[in-house]
């Protein structure tokens, strides 16, 4: 299939040794990815771990799934800051190389040829990962007494969700790390932030492996959560 590009974002993909990482303005058109995305958000254990009481599991139709991705990610994140979520799939073995390059960005005509060769609907999807400006997406409204926030390039929230059958293989780390590096190199990001439910030690461990430490900030004003930060120089 030929993916539609939305919001005039030029086609590109991030390729790592094991993964192909596709921005959602492209991935929203891929049926098999929408199906994986909606199944994760209908999974009780996944939602409890990832979102606590903030987001109970939902059963979306395919049309609703497309709409959620379009409004919450493509318009709010990609449309405003030109960064957002990516769909994460296993790189088909025919495209794996012995090169030890950690990531490459494939753009333009080469990217279109890659899409044609790969067959996007046949990819084995493992989840999503992304970066977004927390100040215009997930943070609650600021009040007069709140301290001023750093510039948005220092308020970039990292998020990810991997299908449980793929946990424990380092795929979340590989995806998040590649997207973070891309956002430093191409979008001028200087600091990452994250929040985890206090009980989500698996995500906390992953954040530490990426270079995050607890920040002691209270951006999200949510006592059930721990907040983290990672300056670009600490990215592992």
Ligand X SMILES: CC(C)(COP(=O)(O)OP(=O)(O)OC[C@H]1O[C@@H](n2cnc3c(N)ncnc32)[C@H](O)[C@@H]1OP(=O)(O)O)[C@@H](O)C(=O)NCCC(=O)NCCS
Distance, in Å, from the CA atom of 197 to the CA atom of 129, rounded to the nearest integer, reads: 17
202 binds ligand X (CB under 6 A): yes
Residue range at the interface with ligand X (CB under 6 A); choices 71-79, 80-88, 147-155, 167-175: 167-175
CB of 196 to ligand X, least distance (A): 4
In the bound state with ligand X, the residue whose beta carbon lies nearer, of 6 and 157, is 157
- Chain positions 34 to 93 lying near ligand X, rule: CB under 6 A, are 46, 49-50
196 binds ligand X (CB under 6 A): yes
When binding is defined by CB under 6 A, the residue of 58, 187, 205, 221 that contacts ligand X is 205
Q: Judged by CB under 6 A, which stretch of 3-11, 77-85, 135-143, 168-176 contacts ligand X?
A: 168-176
- 169 is an interface residue for ligand X by CB under 6 A: yes
Closest CB 46 distance from ligand X, rounded Å = 5
**Distances in Å between the alpha carbon of 77 and those of 36, 72, 207, 215?**
20, 7, 22, 24
Nearer to ligand X among residue 111 and residue 134 (C-beta): 134
206 is an interface residue for ligand X by CB under 6 A? yes
Among 36, 172, 184, 226, binds ligand X (CB under 6 A): 172
What is the residue-wise DSSP string for the chain? --PPP-TTPPPEEEE-SSEEEEEHHHHTT-HHHHHHHHHHHT-HHHHHHHHGGGS------HHHHHHHIIIIIIIIIIHHHS--EEEEEEPPGGG--S---S-EEEEHHHHHHHHHHH-GGGS-EEEEEEEEEGGGTTSPPP-TTSPPPPPGGG-EEEEEEE-GGGTTSSHHHHHHHHHHHHHHHHH---EEEEEEETT-HHHHHHHHHHT-EE----SS--TTEEEEEEEGGG--
**Cβ of 56: how many Cβ atoms within 10 Å?**
11
Question: Of all residues in this chain, which one has the CB nearest to ligand X in the complex?
Answer: 170
Using the contact rule CB under 6 A, the part of the chain among 2-10, 131-139, 157-165, 228-236 near ligand X is 157-165
Please report how close the Cβ of residue 1 comes to ligand X at its closest, in angstroms. Answer: 27
Instruction: Tell which one of 41, 81, 173, 191 touches ligand X (CB under 6 A).
Output: 173
Q: Give contact residues for ligand X (rule: CB under 6 A).
A: 46, 49-50, 160-162, 167-173, 196, 200, 202-203, 205-206
């Amino acid at each position: 299939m030929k993916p539609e590009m939305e919001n005039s974002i030029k086609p590109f993909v991030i390729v790592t040794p094991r993964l192909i990482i596709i921005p959602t303005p492209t991935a929203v058109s891929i049926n098999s990815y929408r199906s994986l995305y909606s199944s994760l958000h209908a999974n009780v254990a996944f939602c409890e771990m990832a979102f606590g009481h903030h987001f109970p599991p939902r059963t979306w139709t395919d049309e609703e799934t497309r709409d959620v991705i379009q409004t919450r990610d493509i318009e709010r994140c990609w449309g405003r800051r030109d960064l957002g979520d990516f769909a994460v799939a296993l790189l088909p073995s025919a495209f794996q190389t012995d090169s030890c390059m950690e990531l490459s960005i494939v753009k333009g005509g080469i990217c279109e040829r890659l899409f044609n060769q790969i067959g996007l609907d046949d990819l084995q999807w493992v989840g999503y990962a992304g970066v977004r400006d927390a100040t215009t997406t997930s943070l609650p409204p600021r009040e007069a007494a709140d301290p001023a926030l750093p510039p948005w390039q220092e308020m970039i929230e990292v998020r990810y969700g991997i299908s449980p059958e793929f946990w424990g293989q380092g795929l979340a780390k590989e995806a998040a790390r590649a997207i973070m590096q891309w956002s430093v190199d191409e979008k001028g990001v200087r600091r990452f932030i994250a929040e985890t439910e206090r009980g989500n030690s698996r995500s906390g461990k992953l954040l530490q492996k990426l270079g995050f430490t607890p920040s002691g900030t209270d951006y999200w004003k949510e006592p059930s959560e721990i907040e983290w930060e990672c300056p670009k120089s600490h990215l592992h």
